[in-house]
Amino acid sequence: MRRFSAFGTALFALVGSLCAQQTSAPATDPFQLGLVLKQARQYCARLEKAALDFICLEEVAEKVDISRDGREGDLRMAPDSVQGSAATSSGGGYAGGHMGSGRPPWSANPKSGDRNDHLYLFDYQFVRQDGKVQEKRVLLEKDGRKVPPQTPLPGHRPFDFSDVLLAPVQLLDERFSEYYAYRLLGKEKIDGAEAWILEVKPRLTSVSMYLGARIWLKTDDSSVLRIEWDPSTFGNYGAILARAESYGAKPEARSTTEFGIEKNGLRFPSADITEEAYRGEDGKLFVRARTSVIYKDHKFFTVETQTTIK
């Protein structure tokens, strides 16, 4: 341990930091909350109505380990959530006034074997024009090896990671405000930028289309820097609880989307990670399923915001 003077300085800094945190946590200030929500909704309006056309590479690492599961079978995804092709359309919008979650139900099993670990490289394109959205993925490599053209996308994937670009709209748009409760948790610096931390909780906890999350909003323009999803609001979370009981462990599921790429005032996904894990009584963590997506080498052809916010 250092000399007392150094300890005293550190203690003073800690106290100052705690005081600063208290002054920057306006959880009971409805006026400040209203301002943050207004600015965030303006940002989402620009994001939703922007004309977008860009490509990037997706590096996807998937892991599934069902070695601890019983032989009686387990939960599987619905077929339409795991099938893929070289070019697929995405909803990315609204049907009947509602938006699909774009987050995974828990969770798929491999067809055979106790473990499945794979690395994929996709060529990814996102196009939004005249209100229509299309996502296209072309598989380039599997486990470090190039694949032939027109190779089908892998099925029976642990988690869905489509539509992450438009996820902020679902959580923040005023059309869905009656389904959520909002609370400011304070401010925090993330990657050098100051951000509000906004808690979003669904009022309809039995409807998996409305998801809970914490959102980091850049204070100067309310753009979304990060979303930490609440896995307990994902579809079929009961399967997580059932597995935890059968494992004699506590669930530690997590799901985070990072928006680390900026272009013309809009932010684009840079990473998306979802993990289904359990911590046993011995303190050890068992990861049953994990999907990590890294977006890189972006090339933007069109990023045009077509709305004027007054």
Q: Binning pLDDT at 50, 70 and 90, where does residue 106 land?
A: low
Predicted confidence (pLDDT) per residue in 136-193, tens digit: 999 999 999 999 998 998 876 767 777 789 899 989 999 988 999 999 999 999 989 9
| Cβ-Cβ contacts under 8 Å for 12 (sequence gap 6 or more) | none
Summary mean pLDDT of the chain: 79
CA gap 308, 175 in Å, rounded: 18
Degrees to nearest 5, angle at CA 44 with 43 and 45: 90
As a whole number, mean pLDDT of residues 20-40 equals 72
Q: pLDDT value at position 123?
A: 96
Is the whole model's pTM more than 0.85, yes or no?
no
Sole residue written with tokens 């006026």: 31
CB 159 within 8 A of CB 274: yes
Q: Could you tell me the domains of the chain?
A: 29-304 (2.50.20)
Predicted confidence (pLDDT) per residue in 239-291, tens digit: 899 999 999 999 999 999 999 999 999 999 999 999 999 999 999 999 999 99
The answer to whether the bond into 90 is cis (omega within 30° of 0) is: no
Predicted confidence (pLDDT) per residue in 283-296, tens digit: 999 999 999 999 99
